Amino acid sequence: MPERGVARQGLLARVASGSAARRTRWCRDCQGQQRRYMDRFKKQRVRLAFGGLLWTAAVGLAILLGGPTADSAKAYHDKRMRIAAGERVVVTCVACHRFTSSVHMVGPHLVRVLGRRAGSVAGYEYSAAMRNSGIVWDEESLTRFLRGPERMVSGTKMPLSGMSDSDIAALIQYMKEL
């Protein structure tokens, strides 16, 4: 049975006031507990070190295999800027064309125009010059056409007098992303 007041004094007081056998047992328990904590700590430290090593290896491997670099980040940023510029240029085009639906307006829709033959969309009345032009729309042909539609296809219905090269590049980048 514990001595009076021992419960209130706490563990250290009990050890100090107890017998030598009790102090020895407490020290052994304490040392065992300390060993268990140290073992856990060492295992945790090994896991953390190994995890850090794996993380470093993964990042290094990603960089070696073509992960994001300063050049690719700059290229991505430039591309996003051209798309944003294309969205500003498109504002003038949507008066006559649609980019996201297959509905014709004054001009034909431009959904998936890259790779398509000029004058080939069903449901739109193209000029004879456009139908017979034989143009397949790619970046180069679109650039030439948008610089001066009448110069490339004489008799086209497109009233545009021409666009700047930077606006054309932005518009084409925007159309590629659709």
Q: What confidence score (pLDDT) does residue 56 get?
A: 77
The most confident of 52-61, 127-136, 165-174, by mean pLDDT: 127-136
* Residue 1 domain-assigned (yes or no): no
Does position 18 have pLDDT exceeding 80, yes or no? no
| Per-residue pLDDT tens over the stretch 56-95 | 777 777 777 765 566 777 888 888 887 888 888 888 888 8
Per-residue confidence (pLDDT) for residue 84, from 0 to 100: 84
Q: How far is CA 24 from CA 30, 35, 36, in A?
A: 10, 16, 18
* Distance, CA of 126 to CA of 123 (rounded, Å): 9
Residues contacting 158, CB < 8 A, separation 6+: 107, 149, 150
- Are 117 and 141 members of one domain? yes
Please give the residue that has the higher pLDDT: either 68 or 147: 147
* 80 in Cβ contact with 174 (< 8 Å): no
Question: Are 139 and 129 in contact, with CB atoms under 8 Å apart?
Answer: no
The pLDDT of residue 8 is 47
Q: 7-16, 22-31, 55-64, 67-76 — which is least confidently predicted? A: 7-16
164 and 81, same structural domain?
yes
The residue that leads in pLDDT, 13 or 90, is: 90
Identify whether the C-beta of residue 6 lies closer than 8 Å to the C-beta of residue 17: yes
Domain residues for the domain of 20 are 6-64
- The CATH number covering residue 170 comes to 1.10.760.10
| Judgement on whether residues 107 and 163 belong to the same structural domain of the protein | yes
Domain boundary among 22, 38, 64: 64
Read off φ and ψ for residue 176, nearest 5 degrees.
-65, -35
Which pLDDT belongs to residue 126? 93
Match 């040392």 to its residue by tokens. 31
Q: Note whether residue 113 is domain-resident.
A: yes
Closest by Cα among 170, 156, 114 to 139: 114
* Whether residue 137 sits in one domain with residue 80: yes
For the chain, what is the domain count?
2
23: which 2 tokens? 């102090």
pLDDT at residue 87 in the model: 87
Compute CA distances 97 → 51, 85, 90, 102, 167, whole Å: 55, 18, 9, 10, 17
In Å, how far from its chain's centre is CA 144?
33
Integer-rounded Cα radius of gyration of the chain: 38
In a 10 Å sphere around its CB, with 0-12 CB exposed, 13-18 middle and 19+ buried, how is residue 62 labelled? exposed
Overall average pLDDT of the 27-51 stretch: 66
Residue 117 has pLDDT above 90, yes or no: yes
- Decide: 131 and 158 in contact? Cβ < 8 Å: no
